[in-house]
Every structure is written in C-alpha cells, then in structure tokens.
Amino acid sequence: FPSHDKGLKRMRVKELLSPLNLEVLNLDICNQASVEKLFTSSKPEVVIHLAAQAGVRLGVIESRKYVESNLVGFSNILISTIENKIPKFLYASSSSVYGDKAAIPYQESESNLHPNSFYGSTKLANELLTPTLVNSSTTVARGLRFLQSTDLGVGLIWHILE
C-alpha cells in the first residue's frame, strides 16, 4: 500500500506479525519472475495474499495502479500458488464489491453485485477469476470481504487457517 504511512506499516509488522514469527517481504507482485522465485525458494504451505492497491478514490489517470496490483499482481500470486501445488490460498477481497444495489446488511450470498468504483470492480474480478483457476487444481481458495483494509485481523486469519 504505497499510499499508507510507512511508519504505520512497520509498526503493524513489529506488533502484529513479528510475534507470530511471520516473515514479511517487500516484493513487486507484478513481477512474475520474482513471485515464482519466492515460491520456489520458500515452498510455502499456505499463501495469505493481502497486497492490493487499496482505496476507492484514485482518478482515471491512476487507475493503472489498480490493474497492476489488483489484477496482474493477484493473478501472479494465484497462478504461482496453483502451479506450486500449495493447498491453501486465502486472499483479501472488499465490501466494495457490493456497490449500492446490494441489500443491507450485506450477505456473502448476494448476487446483485455492482461495484461503484474501479477498485471494487478489480476485487470482484478476483472473486470471479479465482474459482475458474483453482477448479482443476489441488488448491482450496477462500476470499474474505473486509469492510476496510484496516479491518484485517491477523488473529482472525490465523484462526481460519488452523
């Protein structure tokens, strides 16, 4: 999240992830070779993909950031997960997929999804692409629709994977 405060990022890693002995890497997920090198060298048992160009307010000129991170980067991570036969893939989606046509309170089963933002559309695209790729693989994928990126609860994710 380049737009987020770097000090806050470092603090979250130190306070939330370091105690769990989780390694946090800075990696350009849009670079398929880098992603594949990481997967080959680390041989993960589970992939938790939380990286994204967040927010709903970028203008048209900056919309490429959403495409690069949320579509290209997401696809690189998902494809590498499948190709390396990693059994579990957990990724962050967003409540932005609901738009303003969905019934409130939101339901996971809602089919009337019409995002109001380019960001929300990329997150919905992730939800649509994922099952088509994992369908013929040994990978099980789950997406979590967070209300905001700040809602990401490491404890919740850890509990889901146990």
Residues annotated as catalytic (active site), given as ranges:
119
> What tokens does 119 get?
């960001």
Helix/strand/coil for 94: strand
Separation between Cα atoms, residue 71 and residue 157, nearest integer Å: 22
- Bridge partners, residue 90, by sequence: 48, 142
d(CA 143, CA 148): 14
Q: Select from 119, 11, 104 the least CA-distant residue to 74.
A: 119
Q: Which long-range contacts does 111-119 make (Cβ < 8 Å, 24+ apart)?
A: 116/56, 117/56, 117/57, 118/56, 118/58, 118/63, 118/66, 119/53, 119/54, 119/55, 119/56, 119/58, 119/66, 119/70, 119/94
